[in-house]
A and B are shown apart, each in its own frame.
Chain A
Amino acid sequence: MDQSRIRNFCIIAHIDHGKSTLADRLLEFTGAVSQREMTEQLLDSMDLERERGITIKARSVRLTYQAQDGNEYILNLIDTPGHVDFTYEVSRSLAACEGALLVVDATQGVEAQTIANLYLALEHDLEIIPVINKVDLPSADPERVRQQIGDLFGFDPQDAILASAKTGLGVQEILEAIVQRIPAPKGLPDQPMQALIFDSQYDPYKGVVLYFRIFQGRLAVGDRIKMMATGKEFEVTELGIFRPAMVPVAELQSGEVGFLAAAIKNVQDTQVGDTITSAGRPADKPLPGYRPVKPMVYCGLYPVDNVDYEHLREALEKLKLNDAALVFEPETSNALGFGFRCGFLGLLHMEIIQERLEREYNLNLIATAPSVMYRVHRTNGEILEVRNPADFPEVGVIDYLEEPYVKASMILPHDFVGPMMELCQEKRGVYKSMEYLTTDRVMLIYELPLAEILTDFYDKLKSRSRGYASLDYEYLGFVQSDLVKMDILLNGKPVDALSAIVHRDKAYQLGRQLAQKLRTLIPRQLFEVPIQAVVNNKVIARETVKALRKDVLAKCYGGDITRKRKLLEKQKEGKKRMKQLGTVEVPQEAFLAVLKMEE
């Protein structure tokens, strides 16, 4: 394969700006799939991805394109995950390319995620081809967007291609631009092999299948390979390319994108971002940018029925086969029994895992409210990493506390700057900068505690901007904070799964809101249920779920005892969906109450 005829590229876009549809059109135009085979949005193969309209796993596909210069080119499209939770994964996909299509919706203009990913692409020195999509829509304003791209990113506005992924307009122009503007790969085939892993997938028959891009050297079936970060060695049993179906090949070389299987049992041995090299003739250093995956968000997952504990463990283990970013360890709660503390890349990742556990493994789960990892500096100099608020040490032994902060970029119409700044202030944000992207669009930068983003920040951002604001954030590091642990007592007994870490200044208000919310979530029962929020042994809020007064005084229907009994059985069913804490029955939603507090 002549490297000068290879182009590796990806597509950068904000959610809903048409990335997947454009990818479909490229596949169709180059004949990778016929129109008949086309299911909508081919690259998003997980059900959840299609439903949510987002890409979770990175995919790639090899297109063959007969260019107008008369030559045939190999175009490798590497799809990227489209969510802030997966920024690192995005960066690895970008690193595998020489160029990127920057897709912007002609009706909406540039959004926060577009900018964040564009900056990532520029960091990797990618050649950018701006594409203004959806120009066929009546509300499209391509000239304004063209201007915006020029002003914002310093591109020549005339370089932007007008397209409609829906109608196919501009597709050929895009393909030509890929061939002409994106540089060919430059690595040498006879150097020691270096390949970047940009994704992996567990297959029950083949083991872990790695998706990679070769930067230099060659790779053939039967080669012994080595993972440079983990040091693990394997023998390649299968090698292939995506068309988009997996097609085996005997050898791949510098510049090419493909997959390999090597009887790899553990996804942890082959992390995304690691460099594959030859075991016999290793490269002297790995490709840059590798970083072990690090969970940012934690929550406890418990089976409602304790007998499902082993089933939950097996399900988590199976999901982990395919997801190096998912971590979990057993934990015990006095309220919820045996379960797992699980770590995720972000909220979306967490939701996806929970949904898959319930859907694919038929588990009935209680999830505790998500939290971040706190660093507790003890008076004796020791540093504790606390992932579960219930594990917080006594106040007396704490010197100071640190919590993770992120840099949040929000893009919004300037009319909403006021409300947005107010929101960031409420969420303990630190103002950094404000920049006008155009005359009426503003980019606002704040530093915010990650924990604040985990609750209702995104919902409020959307509601206070009538849906117009977009958000992206990146991890900054740990910052010292004045935090306290807030305990919730039901019927006088602390419920560890309801404990939360909150900022001291907000404890009183949050305690009151949380107690009120719990009062509405916990149904009335035989006994009254006092709810208390407590900080440092001091009650800061108190509510009561009043006891039931009466139920139906049914008479016995002329011997229809079965009907009467079935009523009781139905009542028992209701009880089964609740967690019994002493004499109090608590519904599953109550454990997420902290996320559902109104203003």
Chain B
Amino acid sequence: MTGGKKIKPLALYIHIPFCRKKCLYCDFTSFPGRTEDFDTYLHALTQEIELRLSSGMTIASLYIGGGTPTVLPATALAGLLATVRRVAQVLPEAEVTVEANPGTVTEADLALLRQAGVNRLSLGAQSGQDRLLQTLGRIHTVRQVEMTMAAARNAGFTNINLDLIFGLPGQSVAAWQETLEWATALRPEHLSCYGLQVEAGTPLAARLTAGELTLPGEEETSAMFLFNTEFLPRAGYRQYEISNFARCFPAEGGDYRSRHNLAYWRYDDYLGLGLAAYSGIAGRRWVNLDDLEQYINALRDGRLPVAEVEEIPPSTAMAEMIMLGLRLTSGPDPVAFEKRWGVSLEEIIGERAAPLVAGGFLVKEAGTYHLTPRGMLLSNQVIAELLVPLLR
């Protein structure tokens, strides 16, 4: 990564491992409170940016995620962006996203971020019902989501995503439909609708095990997902990935799909900076240290804070490219696949795909395969079935 050498534009991720209060379902690396650590962390992060980036590098998308990045002062986030721009070339048309939680940002903060070049805001709305927000241990109300949304518009944001979660304990199909109606009425450009995943070791898992909470059944959760795929397109949001929907009318000049996330699904290279961040570049994947002190010490000593490096052998990389590509409603890009591996996608999965096409899980189209809504419900099974020969 020395200067002068032309490399492909990168997707850059920056992790802010702080939040105000940990949500009950969260197993990300994030520390509630710890305001006293902000400065040392930002200092270390700045050092990592300087070590990793160089003037020859161009950045096509930048995503600041967490945790809740906006627990940091907006000026600090703006400072990070300035550092990135100073060290590398952020393309003028680059997508620059910051994750924010309703209730953690004022209109003034948002205006400052907008001025600093942030052009996309991702808000953790999660639910349109206060009762369910409480179940999740969120720190905001439905009303605060609406207010933050309005503030962001006033601050000049024209590309806003709302994160929503379905399949919550105590959530009925009707309640989820209400949430979607509420969310679409706010007219965000992008909606991420994730199925709740209960991670071991989280307070939510404990409460479920204790029987204090009950998840909706398989049929209900399936109905919620299928409702997404029917309702959202009617409301003007195109599904482009299993969990992601965007206003996308390229003919009219509007395509609000997340370019940063598309980079992951297309198996493009990405660089992650900050505590516990992942990177994948040129057949190699690594993860940063997830211990705050170790991370800070490494950078103080001028060392890269890498915890673990994995070399991805070609057959595994091929499997990963298919695995990720199948999350997209367009499927893996057959041209990019063949260009990269010198063998056609059809040759690799055609035979195993045939019964899955016949079974209504996959559609074969335009030289590639994509999942049907039924296939998306069973994506792990379908993808495992396809990739058995390539997996270890």
Residue numbers of A with Cβ under 8 A of B are 525-527, 548-562, 564-565, 567-569, 571-572, 575, 583
Q: Contact between B13 and A554 (Cβ–Cβ < 8 Å)?
A: no
Q: Is B69 an interface residue (CB 8 A)?
A: no
Q: Contact between B279 and A559 (Cβ–Cβ < 8 Å)?
A: yes
Which residues of chain B are near A526, meaning CB under 8 Å?
356, 359, 361, 378, 381-382, 385
Given contacts A526-B356, A553-B379, A571-B380, whether A565 and B319 have CB atoms under 8 Å apart is yes
Which residues of chain B are near A572, meaning CB under 8 Å?
384, 387-388, 391-392
Give 12 pairs: A residue, B residue, CB < 8 Å, sorted on A.
A549-B218, A549-B219, A550-B218, A553-B377, A554-B195, A555-B192, A558-B65, A559-B280, A560-B278, A562-B310, A567-B380, A572-B391
Which residues of chain B are near A561, meaning CB under 8 Å?
264, 278, 280, 285, 320, 323-324
Residue of B nearest to A560 (CB): B278
Q: Is B337 an interface residue (CB 8 A)?
A: no
Q: Is B327 an interface residue (CB 8 A)?
A: yes
Given contacts A549-B219, A565-B316, A568-B391, whether A559 and B380 have CB atoms under 8 Å apart is no
Q: Contact between B270 and A559 (Cβ–Cβ < 8 Å)?
A: yes
Of A525, A552, A560, the residue contacting B380 (CB under 8 A) is A552
Of B242, B278, B356, B385, the residue contacting A559 (CB under 8 A) is B278
Q: Is B332 an interface residue (CB 8 A)?
A: no
Q: Contact between B278 and A555 (Cβ–Cβ < 8 Å)?
A: no
Chain B residues 349-380 with CB under 8 Å of chain A are 355-356, 359, 361, 376-380
Task: Kindly state the separation between the CA atoms of A526 and B264 in the bound complex, as whole angstroms.
Answer: 27
Given contacts A558-B278, A568-B383, A568-B387, whether A548 and B320 have CB atoms under 8 Å apart is no
Of B194, B261, B277, B316, the residue contacting A553 (CB under 8 A) is B194
Residue of B nearest to A571 (CB): B384
Q: Contact between B380 and A556 (Cβ–Cβ < 8 Å)?
A: no
Task: Kindly state the separation between the CA atoms of A331 and B243 in the bound complex, as whole angstroms.
Answer: 50
Which residues of chain A are near B280, meaning CB under 8 Å?
559, 561
Task: Kindly state the separation between the CA atoms of A527 and B28 in the bound complex, as whole angstroms.
Answer: 35
- Assuming A549-B377, A572-B388, A572-B391, what are 7 further A-B pairs, CB within 8 angstroms? A556-B261, A558-B28, A558-B277, A568-B383, A571-B381, A572-B384, A575-B384
Question: Which of A549, A559, A560 has the most chain B CB atoms inside 10 A of its CB?
Answer: A559
A-contact 0/1 string along B271-297, CB 8 Å cutoff: 010000111100001010000000000
Q: Contact between A549 and B279 (Cβ–Cβ < 8 Å)?
A: no
Residue of B nearest to A553 (CB): B195
Q: Contact between B279 and A550 (Cβ–Cβ < 8 Å)?
A: no
Which residues of chain B are near A552, meaning CB under 8 Å?
195, 197, 380
Q: Is B265 an interface residue (CB 8 A)?
A: yes
Q: Is B222 an interface residue (CB 8 A)?
A: yes
Task: Kindly state the separation between the CA atoms of A230 and B270 in the bound complex, as whole angstroms.
Answer: 76
Q: Is B68 an interface residue (CB 8 A)?
A: no
Q: Contact between A565 and B320 (Cβ–Cβ < 8 Å)?
A: yes
Residue of A nearest to B321 (CB): A561
Interface pairs A-B: 6 shortest CB-CB: A559-B278, A553-B195, A550-B377, A571-B384, A551-B380, A550-B222
Q: Contact between B285 and A583 (Cβ–Cβ < 8 Å)?
A: no
Residue of B nearest to A565 (CB): B320
Of B15, B195, B285, B380, the residue contacting A558 (CB under 8 A) is B15
Q: Contact between A525 and B381 (Cβ–Cβ < 8 Å)?
A: yes
Q: Contact between B277 and A550 (Cβ–Cβ < 8 Å)?
A: no
Of A525, A555, A569, the residue contacting B243 (CB under 8 A) is A555
Give the distance to chain B from A47, nearest Cβ to Cβ, in Å. Answer: 34
Q: Contact between A558 and B13 (Cβ–Cβ < 8 Å)?
A: yes
Of B197, B316, B377, the residue contacting A554 (CB under 8 A) is B197
Give the distance to chain A from B282, nearest Cβ to Cβ, in Å. Answer: 14
Q: Is B127 an interface residue (CB 8 A)?
A: no
Which residues of chain A are near B376, meaning CB under 8 Å?
553
Residue of B nearest to A563 (CB): B278
Which residues of chain B are near A527, meaning CB under 8 Å?
359
Residue of B nearest to A548 (CB): B378
Which residues of chain B are near A550, meaning CB under 8 Å?
218, 221-222, 225, 377-378
Which residues of chain B are near A568, meaning CB under 8 Å?
319, 323, 380, 383-384, 387, 391
Q: Contact between A556 and B264 (Cβ–Cβ < 8 Å)?
A: yes
Task: Kindly state the separation between the CA atoms of A526 and B272 in the bound complex, as whole angstroms.
Answer: 36
Give the distance to chain A from B153, nearest Cβ to Cβ, in Å. Answer: 26
Task: Kindly state the separation between the CA atoms of A556 and B261 in the bound complex, as whole angstroms.
Answer: 9
Task: Kindly state the separation between the CA atoms of A237 and B3 in the bound complex, as whole angstroms.
Answer: 82
Which residues of chain A are near B387, meaning CB under 8 Å?
568, 572
Which residues of chain B are near A553, meaning CB under 8 Å?
194-195, 197, 225, 242-243, 376-377, 379
Which residues of chain A are near B327, meaning CB under 8 Å?
556
Give the distance to chain A from B246, nearest Cβ to Cβ, in Å. Answer: 15
Which residues of chain B are near A567, meaning CB under 8 Å?
380
Task: Kindly state the separation between the CA atoms of A568 and B383 in the bound complex, as whole angstroms.
Answer: 8
Which residues of chain A are near B388, meaning CB under 8 Å?
572, 575
Of B15, B28, B194, B392, the residue contacting A569 (CB under 8 A) is B392
Task: Kindly state the separation between the CA atoms of A552 and B356 in the bound complex, as whole angstroms.
Answer: 19
Task: Kindly state the separation between the CA atoms of A293 and B355 in the bound complex, as whole angstroms.
Answer: 50
Which residues of chain B are near A559, meaning CB under 8 Å?
13, 264, 270, 272, 277-280
Task: Kindly state the separation between the CA atoms of A261 and B287 in the bound complex, as whole angstroms.
Answer: 64
Chain B residues 302-336 with CB under 8 Å of chain A are 310, 316, 319-320, 323-324, 327
Question: Which of B28, B225, B278, B310 has the most chain A CB atoms inside 10 A of its CB?
Answer: B278
Give the distance to chain B from A556, nearest Cβ to Cβ, in Å. Answer: 6
Which residues of chain B are near A560, meaning CB under 8 Å?
278, 287
A-contact 0/1 string along B219-232, CB 8 Å cutoff: 10110010000000
Q: Contact between B272 and A558 (Cβ–Cβ < 8 Å)?
A: yes
Task: Kindly state the separation between the CA atoms of A526 and B353 in the bound complex, as whole angstroms.
Answer: 13
Give the distance to chain A from B88, nearest Cβ to Cβ, in Å. Answer: 18
Task: Kindly state the separation between the CA atoms of A560 and B276 in the bound complex, as whole angstroms.
Answer: 10
Q: Contact between A569 and B356 (Cβ–Cβ < 8 Å)?
A: no
Which residues of chain A are near B379, meaning CB under 8 Å?
551, 553
Give the distance to chain B from A213, nearest Cβ to Cβ, in Å. Answer: 58
Which residues of chain A are near B381, meaning CB under 8 Å?
525-526, 548, 551, 571
Task: Kindly state the separation between the CA atoms of A583 and B385 in the bound complex, as whole angstroms.
Answer: 10
Residue of A nearest to B380 (CB): A551
Which residues of chain A are near B272, meaning CB under 8 Å?
558-559
Give the distance to chain A from B168, nearest Cβ to Cβ, in Å. Answer: 13
Which residues of chain A are near B285, meaning CB under 8 Å?
561-562
Residue of B nearest to A574 (CB): B384
Which residues of chain B are near A565, meaning CB under 8 Å?
316, 319-320, 323, 391
Task: Kindly state the separation between the CA atoms of A407 and B264 in the bound complex, as whole angstroms.
Answer: 71
Given contacts A561-B320, A575-B388, whether A554 and B278 have CB atoms under 8 Å apart is no
Task: Kindly state the separation between the CA atoms of A355 and B287 in the bound complex, as whole angstroms.
Answer: 44
Task: Kindly state the separation between the CA atoms of A571 and B384 in the bound complex, as whole angstroms.
Answer: 7
Which residues of chain B are near A558, meaning CB under 8 Å?
13, 15, 28, 65, 272, 277-278
Which residues of chain B are near A575, meaning CB under 8 Å?
384, 388
Give the distance to chain A from B33, nearest Cβ to Cβ, in Å. Answer: 22
Task: Kindly state the separation between the CA atoms of A109 and B278 in the bound complex, as whole angstroms.
Answer: 71
Which residues of chain A are near B316, meaning CB under 8 Å?
565
Which residues of chain B are near A562, meaning CB under 8 Å?
278, 285, 310
Q: Contact between B377 and A551 (Cβ–Cβ < 8 Å)?
A: yes
Which residues of chain B are near A548, meaning CB under 8 Å?
378, 381
Task: Kindly state the separation between the CA atoms of A526 and B380 in the bound complex, as whole angstroms.
Answer: 10
Task: Kindly state the separation between the CA atoms of A550 and B371 in the bound complex, as whole angstroms.
Answer: 13
Residue of A nearest to B387 (CB): A568
Give the distance to chain B from A551, nearest Cβ to Cβ, in Å. Answer: 4
Give the distance to chain B from A6, nearest Cβ to Cβ, in Å. Answer: 66
Residue of A nearest to B316 (CB): A565
Task: Kindly state the separation between the CA atoms of A561 and B286 in the bound complex, as whole angstroms.
Answer: 10
Which residues of chain A are near B242, meaning CB under 8 Å?
553
Task: Kindly state the separation between the CA atoms of A559 and B312 in the bound complex, as whole angstroms.
Answer: 14
Give the distance to chain B from A390, nearest Cβ to Cβ, in Å. Answer: 26
